[in-house]
């Protein structure tokens, strides 16, 4: 629908061998702040593919199995890894965005600003509580509303209301 996928999920992605061989050196020597990086490799490889001029495509008929977190701690660690790779690889993707669908630009902006705005909202609410001894109901309501909207959209798209 949008001409590209910004992150082809590792265990579910397939690439042409010829395309992988062209990018293998860049992929295997991935650095972050001068040190080898071992997180977010699927997003990094997707962006390398797009930068090289290849297309990425979502195939809804594909069936794949993977391991998912089975505890809240493991889930939060996974989300933190994914957030770090999103922030890091956004810098690589910025040059791509003008050539891609506008929706993808909006998606990249949302993926980066959403967590930052959530953190700012939580800090603002905590500051209000600490400084005024009043419960930040508007902040709590806004965070809960946005969470329900996001979860509702995901549930609707998965057809699991």
User: Which of 16-25, 55-64, 79-88, 103-112 tops mean pLDDT?
Assistant: 16-25
Tell me the whole-structure pTM to 2 decimals. 0.69
| Helix 102-132, helix 137-157: angle, nearest 10 | 150
pLDDT tens digits, one per residue of 91-144:
878 888 888 888 888 888 888 888 888 889 999 999 999 999 999 998 899 888
In the chain, what percentage of residues exceed pLDDT 70? 98
Q: How far apart are CA 101 and CA 64, in angstroms?
A: 27
Q: How far apart are CA 92 and CA 145, in angstroms?
A: 32
CA atoms within 13 A on the CB side of 61: 0
pLDDT at 11: 65
Grade residue 157 by pLDDT with cuts at 50, 70 and 90.
confident
Question: With 80 as the cut, is the pLDDT of residue 75 above it?
Answer: yes
């Amino acid at each position: 629908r949008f001409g590209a996928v910004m992150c082809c999920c590792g265990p579910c992605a397939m690439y042409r061998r010829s395309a992988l061989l062209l990018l293998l050196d860049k992929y295997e020597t991935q650095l972050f702040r001068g040190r080898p990086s071992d997180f977010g490799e699927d997003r990094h490889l997707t962006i390398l593919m797009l930068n090289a001029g290849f297309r990425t495509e979502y195939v809804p008929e594909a069936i794949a199995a993977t391991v998912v977190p089975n505890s809240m701690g493991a889930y939060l660690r996974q989300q933190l890894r994914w957030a770090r790779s999103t922030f890091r690889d956004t810098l690589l993707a910025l040059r791509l965005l003008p050539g891609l669908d506008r929706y993808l630009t909006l998606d990249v902006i949302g993926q980066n600003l959403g967590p930052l705005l959530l953190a700012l909202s939580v800090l603002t609410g905590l500051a209000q509580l600490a400084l005024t001894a009043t419960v930040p109901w508007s902040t709590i309501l806004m965070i809960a509303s946005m969470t329900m909207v996001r979860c509702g959209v995901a549930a609707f798209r998965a057809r699991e209301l």
